[in-house]
Chains A and B, each alone.
Chain A
Amino acid sequence: MLSRKSRKRIADYLTYIVLILFGAIVVIPFLWMILSSFKDAGEIWTFPPVFMPKKFQWSNYRDAWNALPFDRFLFNSIIVTVCVTIGQLFTCSLGGYAFARLRFPGRDKIFLLYLATMMIPFPVMMIPLFIIMRTLGWIDTLTALIVPGLFSAWGTFLMRQYMLGIPKALEDAARIDGCSYWRLYWNIIVPLCKPVFATLGIFTFMGTWNQFFWPLIMINTISAKTLPLGLVMFQARIAAETPWHLIMAASCAIVLPIIVLFIIGQKYYVKGIVMSGIKG
């Protein structure tokens, strides 16, 4: 008969083994991408696949970067992502505050209606949205990528739910001191909402950085392309003609900001998953 301590230790070991296995499932494709970014074109197609490159081709990174204007793609991606993230934080927090704290006729119905927009699949909205962008003259501009991304029903929901948990007494005290709605929002609510700002910020940043389909439809010229669009420019119609080694090198470079952000905001990311109920 094993002691309680030993049983606990065995259970811990088993848990670690399972976690390591799951971790490996997640990490191996990523590792594969990194190692493939150092292979030459022929090695990519070798079967059975070779994990380690025979010789590390550092030049893949240089070649990928020089083959296309990746500096421009990077710049566009940064502009779009930063604007959308900041914009969405601003609009969602204002919306969330209004739905959580202000009293006005039809508030909850409007909120439900806003939430209902999340149920409309994007392909249904694609052509009407495209026509709106065309009418505004925004096709092939970064504005077309930024403006529709500034508002999010999900972000507003997240903010509202968080703000509902802030004690009303704080607001009441500020109101007695003569705070306007704007000042209440800015001086009381925003500082207390830092965790949810971080969560929504990380989700929005990652979502926008990786966004592919909408930019694909909207952007036509190379100078306005973002990183994910730039990446597929390597892809040829015949798979064998695609320089996968360069794609892997460019992918590694693209994913770097996301990794840095994830490392910095890991705590909030996990918190966000808990708060929003989103699971992978």
Chain B
Amino acid sequence: MIRREFLKIIGQLGIGAYGLSIPGCGNADKAVQQKYLTFEVKYPQTEWTMGVIDPNIGGAFKIMSWESAFQFKKWNRIIDTFFKLYYPNIKVQIDWGVSFGNYNTKLPVLLAGGSPPDLVWMHDTRAKAFSSIGLLQKLDPFIEKFNPKGWPEEYYPTQIESFQYKNYQYGFPYDYATGGLYVNLEMYKDIDEELPNENWTFDDLLRVGKKLTKGNKQFGLNLGNEANVGYQYWIIRSFGGDWFNKELTESKFNLPETIAAYQWISDLRWKHKVAPMPEVTQGRPQPFVDGVVAIDFNLGAPQFGDLLEDKFDWTIAPTPRGESGRFQFVGGSALSIPQKATHKHIAFELIRYMLSNPENLEIIGGMGRMFVSRMSMYKYGLPKGKLATKMSNFKHVFYDLARQDGVVVPYIQKYQEWDDICRRNLELLYFGEERSSKKVCLRLHDATSRWLEKLNS
């Protein structure tokens, strides 16, 4: 009897699970597969649709994003409206809430496995890697046929450039993240100095950093973020150095200026002792928030500001200039269409609707508290309320100066692979195993040259 019941349960559960999955099985979209891009207008055009696709088309439209549950709300609102208005019979399937690391593992599997979404989130660090092996659709034919409002003159040139590969556009930028300095005013009031400004040099910053350092309890500067090699690129350029030549075919780690820049970064910690030691930063993701660092480099994400709101008095300031001029970290993300996506036209229409429609940009900027990619809409990304008072110069630091001095980090194709090589070598400097940046940079130069040769062969 017991065994009979056992078998019955197996049967019921098996059938139950299969039954549950049946609706999901229908997700495999059998809708029109578009092999070639055509732009024949067959249906009524609207402000946001090309008239190429039947408004009554059915099937599933798949979107994949790394945004968290809270961040995705704004996108959901807009996507929902778009499909209700223009393609009411399409079922939208959104795979969101996949963390950034997992997203970058999952997306290549979906693309390689032949089950691509129709619209994907793309990070500037990965864009060239995906586009160089033909996994992303060139957006140029779409942009030409159905020009997004304000494109390209109203969009940040650095962000447009970040998503280009061999002069083709593979991503439509949606945000603009720039770097600046966060200053602990309670620590700062003890020294007789003005706040940093864009005309300060690296020497000025070091001088203040020394004054702000108090043994092992308080550190003046935290600029070299070892967790992200790209966050230091602006310093290298300010010193006149670089990583690669313009064509991305040669290493420039042997340049005296590159070596000098890395020496300056290393000396902050090991010679001048103004930067927090590894034992202070490890296991402490936000040393500035914890009140151990007086001046910290970070992105202009107002969420970061929320954490500090009531802890101590603080403000923001611009990064300094070097002998070669002033360079500011800029970065961001974009929306892309996979090469084998089913609904490419609709995907582009949706991108255009989300990222060039002022009404939607207000939602995206306001709910995400970020600068959207259309420059004139910067106001939606400005902090509000108490934070606006604390960061009264937010626009100047993170917008005006970034537009003027923003520098694109050369995220070469297969950047992640090179990033590993770079990090392995630079860690010798960061963790004090080697104090001479010349030795490390020359070693890195050799490794990078070999890697580039292999890449370009």
> What is the interface of chain A, defined by CB distance below 8 A to chain B?
42, 45-47, 67-68, 79-80, 82-83, 86-87, 90, 126-127, 130-131, 134, 137-144, 146, 186, 190, 216-217, 219-224, 230, 232-243
CB pair B113–A130 under 8 Å, yes or no, is yes
CB pair B93–A220 under 8 Å, yes or no, is yes
Q: Which residues on B sit within 8 Å (CB–CB) of A82?
A: 13
Chain B residues 40 to 93 lying within 8 A of chain A, measured CB to CB, are 62, 64, 66-71, 93
CB pair B105–A216 under 8 Å, yes or no, is yes
Q: Which residues on A sit within 8 Å (CB–CB) of B289?
A: 45, 47, 240
Looking across the interface, which residue of chain A has its beta carbon closest to that of B18? A143
Looking across the interface, which residue of chain B has its beta carbon closest to that of A150? B14
CB pair A242–B68 under 8 Å, yes or no, is yes
CB pair B113–A224 under 8 Å, yes or no, is no
Assuming the A-B contacts A45-B289, A220-B64, are A241 and B301 also in contact, with contact meaning beta carbons closer than 8 angstroms in the complex? yes
Assuming the A-B contacts A45-B289, A138-B21, A241-B71, are A233 and B97 also in contact, with contact meaning beta carbons closer than 8 angstroms in the complex? yes
B290 at the binding interface (Cβ < 8 Å): yes
Other-chain residue from B9, B97, B301 in contact with A86 (beta carbon distance below 8 A): B9
B285 at the binding interface (Cβ < 8 Å): yes
> What is the interface of chain B, defined by CB distance below 8 A to chain A?
3, 9-10, 13-14, 16-18, 20-22, 24-25, 27-28, 62, 64, 66-71, 93-100, 102, 105-106, 109-110, 112-115, 117, 284-287, 289-290, 292, 299, 301, 303-304, 307
13 residue pairs A–B, Cβ–Cβ below 8 Å = A79-B13, A80-B17, A134-B28, A134-B114, A139-B27, A139-B115, A141-B25, A190-B3, A220-B93, A222-B96, A222-B97, A232-B98, A240-B301
CB pair A83–B14 under 8 Å, yes or no, is yes
Other-chain residue from B25, B98, B109 in contact with A138 (beta carbon distance below 8 A): B25
Other-chain residue from A216, A230, A232, A240 in contact with B286 (beta carbon distance below 8 A): A240
**Cα-based distance from A45 to B306 in the complex (angstroms):** 12
Assuming the A-B contacts A142-B17, A234-B69, are A221 and B115 also in contact, with contact meaning beta carbons closer than 8 angstroms in the complex? no
**Cα-based distance from A64 to B247 in the complex (angstroms):** 49
Q: Which residues on B sit within 8 Å (CB–CB) of A190?
A: 3
Q: Which residues on B sit within 8 Å (CB–CB) of A126?
A: 109
Looking across the interface, which residue of chain B has its beta carbon closest to that of A146? B17
CB pair B10–A90 under 8 Å, yes or no, is yes
Looking across the interface, which residue of chain A has its beta carbon closest to that of B2? A191
Q: Which residues on A sit within 8 Å (CB–CB) of B21?
A: 138, 141-144, 224
CB pair B17–A237 under 8 Å, yes or no, is no
Q: Which interface residue of A86, A186, A235 has the most chain B CB atoms within 10 A?
A: A235
CB pair A241–B95 under 8 Å, yes or no, is no
CB pair B99–A134 under 8 Å, yes or no, is no
**Cα-based distance from A219 to B98 in the complex (angstroms):** 11
Looking across the interface, which residue of chain B has its beta carbon closest to that of A68? B69
Q: Which interface residue of A46, A142, A220 has the most chain B CB atoms within 10 A?
A: A220
Other-chain residue from B3, B17, B69, B307 in contact with A233 (beta carbon distance below 8 A): B69
**Cα-based distance from A131 to B114 in the complex (angstroms):** 7
CB pair A220–B95 under 8 Å, yes or no, is yes
**Cα-based distance from A144 to B94 in the complex (angstroms):** 19
CB pair B28–A137 under 8 Å, yes or no, is yes
**Cα-based distance from A138 to B105 in the complex (angstroms):** 20
CB pair B284–A224 under 8 Å, yes or no, is no
Closest Cβ of chain A: how far from B309's Cβ, in Å?
9
Q: Which residues on A sit within 8 Å (CB–CB) of B68?
A: 233-237, 241-242
CB pair A140–B71 under 8 Å, yes or no, is no
**Cα-based distance from A140 to B113 in the complex (angstroms):** 14
Looking across the interface, which residue of chain A has its beta carbon closest to that of B311? A42
- Give the top 6 A-B pairs by smallest Cβ distance, nearest first: A233-B97, A141-B21, A47-B290, A141-B24, A220-B95, A130-B113
Closest Cβ of chain B: how far from A200's Cβ, in Å?
15
**Extra 9 A-B pairs, beta carbons < 8 Å, given A68-B97, A237-B68:** A68-B69, A83-B17, A141-B21, A220-B117, A221-B95, A235-B100, A238-B299, A238-B304, A240-B303
CB pair A237–B66 under 8 Å, yes or no, is yes
CB pair A130–B115 under 8 Å, yes or no, is yes
Other-chain residue from A90, A143, A236 in contact with B25 (beta carbon distance below 8 A): A143
**Cα-based distance from A47 to B24 in the complex (angstroms):** 45
CB pair A134–B113 under 8 Å, yes or no, is yes
CB pair A240–B307 under 8 Å, yes or no, is yes
Other-chain residue from A80, A216, A234 in contact with B102 (beta carbon distance below 8 A): A216
CB pair B286–A45 under 8 Å, yes or no, is yes
Closest Cβ of chain B: how far from A180's Cβ, in Å?
15
Assuming the A-B contacts A45-B286, A67-B69, A131-B113, are A221 and B93 also in contact, with contact meaning beta carbons closer than 8 angstroms in the complex? yes
**Cα-based distance from A86 to B17 in the complex (angstroms):** 12
Q: Which residues on B sit within 8 Å (CB–CB) of A68?
A: 69, 97
Looking across the interface, which residue of chain B has its beta carbon closest to that of A130? B113
CB pair B106–A217 under 8 Å, yes or no, is yes
Q: Which residues on B sit within 8 Å (CB–CB) of A134?
A: 28, 113-115
Q: Which residues on B sit within 8 Å (CB–CB) of A87?
A: 10, 14
Q: Which residues on A sit within 8 Å (CB–CB) of B3?
A: 186, 190
Q: Which residues on A sit within 8 Å (CB–CB) of B114?
A: 131, 134
Looking across the interface, which residue of chain A has its beta carbon closest to that of B99? A235
Closest Cβ of chain B: how far from A41's Cβ, in Å?
8
CB pair A216–B106 under 8 Å, yes or no, is yes
Other-chain residue from B70, B95, B113 in contact with A243 (beta carbon distance below 8 A): B70
Closest Cβ of chain A: how far from B256's Cβ, in Å?
35
Q: Which residues on B sit within 8 Å (CB–CB) of A224?
A: 21, 24
**Cα-based distance from A238 to B106 in the complex (angstroms):** 19
Assuming the A-B contacts A79-B16, A220-B64, are A127 and B112 also in contact, with contact meaning beta carbons closer than 8 angstroms in the complex? yes
Closest Cβ of chain A: how far from B42's Cβ, in Å?
30
Looking across the interface, which residue of chain A has its beta carbon closest to that of B287? A47
Q: Which residues on B sit within 8 Å (CB–CB) of A239?
A: 285
Looking across the interface, which residue of chain B has its beta carbon closest to that of A233? B97
Looking across the interface, which residue of chain A has its beta carbon closest to that of B21? A141
**Cα-based distance from A141 to B93 in the complex (angstroms):** 13
CB pair B301–A238 under 8 Å, yes or no, is yes
Q: Which residues on A sit within 8 Å (CB–CB) of B97?
A: 68, 222, 230, 232-235
Closest Cβ of chain B: how far from A228's Cβ, in Å?
11
Closest Cβ of chain A: how far from B338's Cβ, in Å?
14
Q: Which residues on B sit within 8 Å (CB–CB) of A240?
A: 285-286, 289, 301, 303-304, 307
Closest Cβ of chain B: how far from A16's Cβ, in Å?
30
**Cα-based distance from A196 to B303 in the complex (angstroms):** 52
Q: Which residues on B sit within 8 Å (CB–CB) of A138?
A: 21, 25
Assuming the A-B contacts A67-B69, A130-B115, A186-B3, are A216 and B14 also in contact, with contact meaning beta carbons closer than 8 angstroms in the complex? no
Q: Which residues on A sit within 8 Å (CB–CB) of B64?
A: 220
Closest Cβ of chain B: how far from A123's Cβ, in Å?
9
